[in-house]
Amino acid sequence: MASIYYITQVQFDFGAVRELGAECARVGITRPLVITDAGVRAAGVLQKALDALADLPAAIFDGTPSNPTEAAVRAAREIWNAHRADGLVAVGGGSSIDLAKGLAILATHPGELKTYATIEGGSAKITAAVAPIIAVPTTSGTGSEVARGAIVIVDDHRKLGFHSWHLVPKGAICDPDLTLGLPAGLTAATGMDAVAHCMETFMSAAFNPPADGIALDGLERAWAHIERATPNGSDREARKQMMSASMQGAMAFQKGLGCVHSLSHALGGVNPKLHHGTLNAMFLPAVVRFNAEAESVKTERRLERMAHAMGLASAADIPEAIVAMNARLGLASGLAALGVERDCFDKVIEGALADHCHKTNPRLASAEDYRSMLEAAM
C-alpha cells in the first residue's frame, strides 16, 4: 500500500520571516527556545528572526555543530528546562533544524536519544508529545523544514536517522532573503545536497507519483539555478529557485533515499567534519551508474526523465555532467581531496549496510558494491 502524505504549512516568500511571531501564535508557542548556530548569529540572520518574535520571551541556543550531536542536544535541553520553553524555533541550516528535532524528542520522551533511532526500531516510540517546531531555513540544501526525519550523531559515534511524522515542523518559513550573501562554497555544497535529494528520491522504486513529480521539478529548478546562485549571493531569483528545490527534495523524501545517503551518513559518522552535501555530490555519479541497472529505473525510464530535466542529451551523460558541475562549482574533485583514506572503507561499508537509506535504493547494494562506489568517488 502506498502511503502519501503532504506535509505541513509553509510560508514561502521574500520577507516571510516577518510572519514568525504569527506562526508561533498559530502553533501555540509562547516561550520559544531558538536553536541556531554561531555563524547564523554572527551574520545577523538570527536577529531578523528575533525581531519577528516581537514580545515573546525567547531563549537562544547557538551551539549547533556542523553535524548535530547527541551531546549538543543535551546541552540545548538544559536551556529548554531552565527557560521552561514550550516550543522550538530552528533558525539555520539542516544541522540546526535536525538538532531541534532531536531536542523535540529528548525534551519530551524518556531515555537515551538512540532509543528512538529508526534502525533501532525507535520510530514507533516517537509520539505526539514531541515539542512543536517552527523551522526557518537559512540555506537551500537539506529541506529539513518539511521533512519527517533528522540525522544526529549519537554518543557511540553512529550517525543515525530519526523518523516520524510527529517530527515534521508545525510550520516552515522559507524566506529566500535569509540566504542572500551565503558564501559560494556553502551555496554549492548545500545546493548539490538538494540536487542529490531530488535525484535519489526520484530513482527510488517506491510508488508515489506526486513525490516523483515534485522531485523532478525540483531537480530542474536546482540544476538550472545552482551555477547562478553560487558565485552571486545577491541573485534573488536564483536563491528563490534553490530554496524551492531544497524544499521539494525533502517533500519527496517519503519515497526513501538510497546508496548516496547510506554512504554519506556512514562516512560523516566516521569524520563529522565532512560536509554532508559535499559527500552527496562526490557519491552521486557512482550511484547513478550503479542504479542504471535497476529494473525499476530501466522500465520507468528514470534516468532518461532526469536527463531531460537537466537539459542533457541522454541518460548516459548524467554521471559526467555531475562531475563537471562539481568542478564548475569549486567542489572537491573526490574523496581523496577531502582527506579521506581507504583505511576507513570497512567501517564506512559497515555503516552504509546498516543505514536506514540502504534498503530503499532501487538496487540493493552489497558490501563489494559499496566498496566499488567508494573507490569510484575517490
pLDDT digits (tens, 9 = 90+) for 277-298: 999 999 999 999 999 999 999 9
Calculate ∠ Cα 263-285-272, nearest 5°.
30
The Cα-based distances of 258 to 20, 182, 279, 308, 357 in angstroms read: 34, 28, 14, 22, 5
Q: Residue 66: what pLDDT?
A: 87
Q: Residue 4: what pLDDT?
A: 53
Distance CA 271, CA 251 (A): 28
Complete DSSP assignment for 253-271: GGG---HHHHHHHHHHHH-
Res. 7 pLDDT band, cuts 50 70 90: confident
Q: Which of 181, 167, 168 is nearest to 138 (CA)?
A: 181
For residues 181 and 43, is the Cβ–Cβ distance under 8 A?
A: yes
Provide the phi-psi class of 354: left if phi over 0, else alpha when psi is between -120 and 50, else beta.
alpha
Calculate ∠ Cα 98-44-221, nearest 5°.
60
In the chain, domain spans: 9-178, 184-377
CATH 1.20.1090.10 fits 184-377, yes or no: yes
Report, as an integer, the average pLDDT of 48-67.
94
Q: Residue 54: what pLDDT?
A: 84
Q: Is the pLDDT of residue 125 over 80?
A: yes
Report, as an integer, the average pLDDT of 357-371.
96
Q: Is the pLDDT of residue 204 over 70?
A: yes
- Maximum separation of any 2 CA atoms in the chain, in Å: 58
Which one has a higher pLDDT value, 360 or 54? 360
**What does residue 230 show for φ and ψ, rounded to 5 degrees?**
-65, -50
Report, as an integer, the average pLDDT of 52-61.
94
**Beta carbons within 8 Å of 314's beta carbon, 6+ residues apart:** 304, 307
CATH 3.40.50.1970 fits 9-178, yes or no: yes
DSSP 173: E
pLDDT cut 70: percent of the chain above it: 99
Q: Residue 1: what pLDDT?
A: 43
The DSSP bridge pattern shows strands 159-163 and 149-153 to be antiparallel
Report, as an integer, the average pLDDT of 369-373.
98
Q: Is the pLDDT of residue 144 over 80?
A: yes
**What cell does 281 get?**
555530490
Q: Residue 2: what pLDDT?
A: 52
Report, as an integer, the average pLDDT of 326-332.
97
Q: Is the pLDDT of residue 158 over 60?
A: yes
Q: Residue 254: what pLDDT?
A: 84
For residues 136 and 17, is the Cβ–Cβ distance under 8 A?
A: yes
**What cell does 337 get?**
581531496
Res. 159 pLDDT band, cuts 50 70 90: confident
